[in-house]
Amino acid sequence: MRGTTLITLAVPEGVVMAADDLVYEYELETGKATPLERGARKVYAMGSILIGSSNTMRCSCSGRLVSKDEPQESIDVSIEYKFEDWIVDFIRERRGATDSSPKVFADALYQRMLDTFKPVEIMLEYGGWKDYKPGDRLVNYLVAGYASNYKNLQLLEIGAEYMEGRRLRYLGPLQHETNSAWSMKQPKDVYFGEDECFLKALDGIEPQSGVGQREASKCLATTANLFPRMPKALRELTANAVALVKVEAEFNPNKVGTTVNAAILDRVTKRHYLATF
């Protein structure tokens, strides 16, 4: 099972992370995507940190594996993984941490990923793993946030890729490039997952552009009602992020859900918000 679109946008007033709610099944041989589950939350917040994923893999399996190369060799292995449960448990454990900086949080998340997917490495060694091809992401995570002084925004990427030779390649935590044109150090916009349709909207191509403008206008009215004290620039940023996901959902409905969850960090008030659109 796979997740879909995750968008992260930033301005000096704060940062927004938005994602749709769909999980779909992908058939490697045919390339067909079949929606399986709606209502999946892919963005979360803790203090001055946002966490998101565009790949909400589900896995529940256990048993004894026999090596294809050495039939006399076998091993017991099991893994339980559902992103929503997994990340909530991790956030709960981190609430008492003495250092709550994004980098320390991302380092701990990276280690948790290594520990969680060790069984997958064993499964690969013993003959394969699900419907992925080399280069595919099994999981990916984005950590966005500020240290305690709320001075500079950090955006860190973590992931695991399926590689040739029956192995995983772990990525991160990778600090995303900053946009030097801004007066403050801010990461550039980051997109993960399905993006073909909303990139057309950003380029002004119709009908995607018109849908994006319509959705941004609707969302801006909603954010004004929900968050009247939020800086205008941050409300507009939230509307734009949500609109881009909704554009992708309209033109790519088998892979992107129409409901969008957003996590917002307000650097001015030093608060985070969660909202559904």
The answer to the question of residue 88 being in a domain is yes
Q: What predicted TM-score, i.e. pTM, was given to this entire model? A: 0.90
The answer to the question of residue 210 being in a domain is no
Q: Hey, how many other C-beta atoms are within 10 angstroms of the C-beta on 148?
A: 11
β-pair partners for 76:
64
Phi-psi region of 135 (alpha: psi -120 to 50; beta: other; left: phi over 0): left
The answer to the question of residue 100 being in a domain is yes
Estimate the share of the chain in helix, then strand, then coil, as percent rounded to the nearest 5. 30, 35, 35
* DSSP 8-state code for residue 69: S
Can you tell me the mean pLDDT for 105-127? 89
The answer to the question of residue 27 being in a domain is yes
Can you tell me the mean pLDDT for 76-80? 81
The answer to the question of residue 45 being in a domain is yes
Is the pLDDT at 72 greater than 80? The verdict is: no
- Range(s) of the domain holding residue 186: 6-194
The answer to the question of residue 240 being in a domain is no
Output the CA–CA distances (angstroms, integers) from residue 86 to 2, 57, 236, in the order listed. 16, 11, 31
Residue 62: Cβ-neighbour burial (10 angstroms; 0-12, 13-18, 19+): exposed
The answer to the question of residue 223 being in a domain is no
Q: What is the pLDDT of residue 98?
A: 77
Q: Is the dihedral of CA 247, 253, 258, 262 positive or negative?
A: negative
Q: What is the pLDDT of residue 33?
A: 83
* DSSP 8-state code for residue 45: E
Contact 4, 245 (CB under 8 A): no
Q: Two tokens at 190?
A: 């980051």
The answer to the question of residue 43 being in a domain is yes
Residue 259: Cβ-neighbour burial (10 angstroms; 0-12, 13-18, 19+): middle
Domain count, the chain: 1
Q: Which of 74-78, 80-84, 123-127 has the highest mean pLDDT?
A: 80-84
Q: Two tokens at 151?
A: 């001075």
With cut-offs at 50, 70 and 90, classify the pLDDT of residue 129: low
Angle (CA) 163-164-170 rounded to 5° is 20
Can you tell me the mean pLDDT for 28-40? 84
Residue-by-residue DSSP string for 3-41: ---EEEEEETTEEEEEEE--EEEE-TTT--EEEEE----
| 141-193 tens-digit pLDDT | 999 999 888 888 899 999 999 887 778 899 989 988 655 443 344 456 889 99
Output the CA–CA distances (angstroms, integers) from residue 225 to 99, 239, 245, 262, in the order listed. 35, 12, 21, 15
Contacts of 110 (CB under 8 A, 6+ apart): 158, 170, 172, 173
Q: Is the dihedral of CA 215, 19, 40, 229 positive or negative?
A: negative
Question: Checking DSSP bridges between strand 271-276 and strand 260-266, what pairing results, if any?
Answer: antiparallel
* DSSP 8-state code for residue 71: T
Q: Is the dihedral of CA 133, 255, 276, 229 positive or negative?
A: positive
Q: What is the pLDDT of residue 68?
A: 65
